[in-house]
Structure 1
Amino acid sequence: MTAIKQPGLESFLRKPDPSITAVLIYGDEAGAVRDLAARAVKQIAGSTDDPFAVVPLQDGDLSGNPGRLADEVQSLSMFGGARVIWVRDAGETFTKAAKPLLDGALSGNLVIAEAGTLPKSSQLRQMFEKSARALVLPLYEAESGELAGLVESILGNDGLRIDQDALHRFIELAGTTRSLVRREAEKLSTFCQGSAQVRIQDVETICGNTAAADPEELADSVMGGDVSGADRLFHILKDGGVDPGRLISAVHLHVMRLQDLKAAIETGASPDQAMRSARPMIFFKRQPKVKRQIRIWPTAELLSAGSTLGHAVQQARQNAQLGGAIASRCLLSIARRALALQRDQI
């Protein structure tokens, strides 16, 4: 089937067509793809984490056993009811495994698959677009009108109105990432409960720092002991499509840099000299934060943090489905350790 837009998917989810056996959601905005796939799974199965109703698979899970997809499609739920096969990072292996499903040789449980950017030449995309048994939903960069409608819908569901100035400011701050816009709009709605109108001051209070989030800021929050800030930035970046494993790696690289700076200082350099000699250079506005982190962390503790992060990077690579949980647990644990070290120094 040719590509549909989001309203087409929502219409299908409200009243599923039994002739449709698979849904493919793809695009370069990983957070939005994951968010929409999760909502589709929940709409059909009633949950995203019920092991009896949802079967999560990765493309790699099918590499040694391509027949597993067919087995899961034809399997019955232990307690009855709808069952969904949720395939993440769909690629070449899934393409081969899904062919009998789209050709009509198989039927049963619905398959909802996520993929990244797929060019027109992609076999997976072509196969789904040609099949009458599939729905295909590409997610391109959202336009401001679509985002504004999303924000107004979320706020409106909670009985809130937002004027155009406040809405424009919200889009400016939250950016064009659908999943992040949804998350920030839900936070704004919670913050404004009890009011009828969302003001521009409310928007700036809730969303003022969203656009500035980057992995370096996350690293500074973690190593500086800002536990709540680290948690907030982690979710902003993850929901914005940054792979959790990359976030662990970014903090790991920063810890290795702190180790080098600490070593330079312990061999006679002043903190300022160590900063000036650092390569790549440390932006001058960031230097006070880095100096503070050097004071907080003893060398032995930095080595321990580096080891913990390196192990977490490997875990996230080996268990992509658990990458978010692994990253969150690791980064917040280190942030709490930084906070404890600061308290010990008082």
Structure 2
Amino acid sequence: MKLAPAQVAAFLRDPGAVRVVLLFGEDVGMIRDRAEALVRRVAGSLDDPFLVAELPREAIGTLPDEAASLALTGGRRVVRVREATDAATGPVQALLKSAAPALVVLEGAGLATRSRLRTALEAAPDGVAIGCYPEEGRALTETIRSTLQAAGVGVDPDAASWLADHLGADRASTRGELEKLALYVGPNARVDLEAAMACVGDLAGLSLDDALFAATAGDVATADRALELAMAEGAAPVQVLRMGIGHLQRLHRVRLAMDAQRLPAADAVKQLRPPLFFRRVAPFTRALSLWNSRTLAAGIAALAEAERGCKRTGWPDTVLCRQAILSLARRAAAGAAREPRVRR
């Protein structure tokens, strides 16, 4: 089944008889936060060797057997899979047909919109798919207030409004900035606008998506800063590259539609389903003026080759990932310098 946003908090407190949870979407930090909340709720901690098992992506075929194993000390086990892909669909379907008692938590930040894994779990009575997207507006303001309140700190309305404009791109980054802010003002204090502006860094609003959108729009500096922050917050190189491939594939589909139907970029972007977040429209449209279908296909191939390199033992995966993403940014920037108009 698919949970509505209003149902997520209650589910995280009590997943009940659900056996497989898929966390997908653009907010890598939120995916990690929610995964950890589920693990703690069922197993009591993140690192209990008897109750918590982390399954490598390469061993996904053993998922049904791992989920069927019983804990030596009693209690319900949790099997956590990071960087889940559609390759997990078969093992998950086999697991759901069995009586395996464990809770399986899948983190799939790079999954496509029409992912087979997501579709399977949305249709399963004892499976759940939860979207994790950057918070905005009232939801983000409430997260800011509740996080600071949990740290024993209040916040003035104008400070909360300013923070909402500068945070929210990634849950982990938002939480880290708010924890730093709480330490800055001290216990039982209030955050005013001056404290918020003094403490929250310029990079706080940047996420992995910002890195990818900036790269294809030719903004090398923002791509570099956002990528550095995302990787410091735990984004894995393979995950970054897969999300980059997904971003380029989406641009490629729109670019092909522009060429086939002779559509302006703005009209082609409006046809996207699901639609872009409003703040992503400008850099996405800008990218369409810098890339054609041929160069986008070449970019997809380059990221796929970098992903293969990251999987080779002994290769510097972080370096390969950064080089691949920043190569896109430099290529787009060079295109902007040569010809700012749409190339057909």
Q: Which amino acid aligns with 2:36?
A: A
Cα deviation 1:192-222 (Å, max 9, x = unaligned): 223431112221232133348799xxxxxxx
Cα deviation 1:155-211 (Å, max 9, x = unaligned): 112332111211122223335222211111122122222343111222123213334
Aligned runs of 1:31-50 on 2, under 5 Å?
Answer: 31-50=29-48
Q: Which amino acid aligns with 1:29?
A: D
Q: What is residue 127 of structure 2 aligned with on the other side?
A: 134
Instruction: From 105, 128, 146, give the equivalent of 1:153.
Output: 146
Q: What is residue 88 of structure 2 aligned with on the other side?
A: 94
Q: What is residue 73 of structure 2 aligned with on the other side?
A: 79
Q: What is residue 13 of structure 2 aligned with on the other side?
A: 14
Q: Measured at CA, do residues 59 and 43 of structure 1 come closer, stay the same or move farther in structure 2, by a change above 3 Å?
A: same
Unaligned runs of 5+ in 1: 216-231, 248-312, 328-346
Q: For 1:196 and 1:123, how far apart are their aligned partners in 2?
A: 49
Q: For 1:31 and 1:13, how far apart are their aligned partners in 2?
A: 16
Q: Measured at CA, do residues 314 and 126 of structure 1 come closer, stay the same or move farther in structure 2, by a change above 3 Å?
A: closer
Q: What is residue 113 of structure 1 aligned with on the other side?
A: 106
Q: Which amino acid aligns with 1:71?
A: D
Q: For 1:246 and 1:73, how far apart are their aligned partners in 2?
A: 24
Q: Which amino acid aligns with 1:16?
A: P
Q: Which amino acid aligns with 1:12?
A: F
Shift of 1:126: 0.8
The reply on whether 1:4 has 2:1 as its aligned counterpart is no
Q: For 2:141 and 2:70, how far apart are their aligned partners in 1?
A: 41
Instruction: From 173, 183, 189, give the equivalent of 1:190.
Output: 183
Q: Measured at CA, do residues 43 and 235 of structure 1 come closer, stay the same or move farther in structure 2, by a change above 3 Å?
A: farther
Shift of 1:22: 0.7
Q: What is residue 170 of structure 1 aligned with on the other side?
A: 163
Q: Which amino acid aligns with 1:10?
A: A
Shift of 1:149: 0.7
SS of the aligned residue for 1:32 comes to helix
Shift of 1:153: 0.3
Q: For 1:121 and 1:214, how far apart are their aligned partners in 2?
A: 23
The reply on whether 1:56 has 2:50 as its aligned counterpart is no
Q: What is residue 283 of structure 2 aligned with on the other side?
A: none
Which shifted more, 23-32 or 233-242?
Answer: 233-242
Aligned runs of 1:1-346 on 2, under 5 Å?
Answer: 1-5=1-5, 7-18=6-17, 20-62=18-60, 66=61, 68-102=62-96, 104-211=97-204, 236-238=229-231, 242-243=235-236, 317=311
- TM-score with structure 1 setting the length: 0.59
Unaligned runs of 5+ in 2: 209-224, 241-306, 322-344
Q: What is residue 221 of structure 1 aligned with on the other side?
A: none
SS of the aligned residue for 1:85 comes to strand
RMSD of aligned residue pairs (Cα, Å): 3.3
Aligned length: 234
Contact 2:136 2:168 (8 Å CA) reproduced: no
Q: Which amino acid aligns with 2:161?
A: H
Shift of 1:316: 6.8
Q: Percent identity?
A: 29
Shift of 1:47: 1.8
Q: Which amino acid aligns with 2:28?
A: A
Q: For 1:167 and 1:210, how far apart are their aligned partners in 2?
A: 18
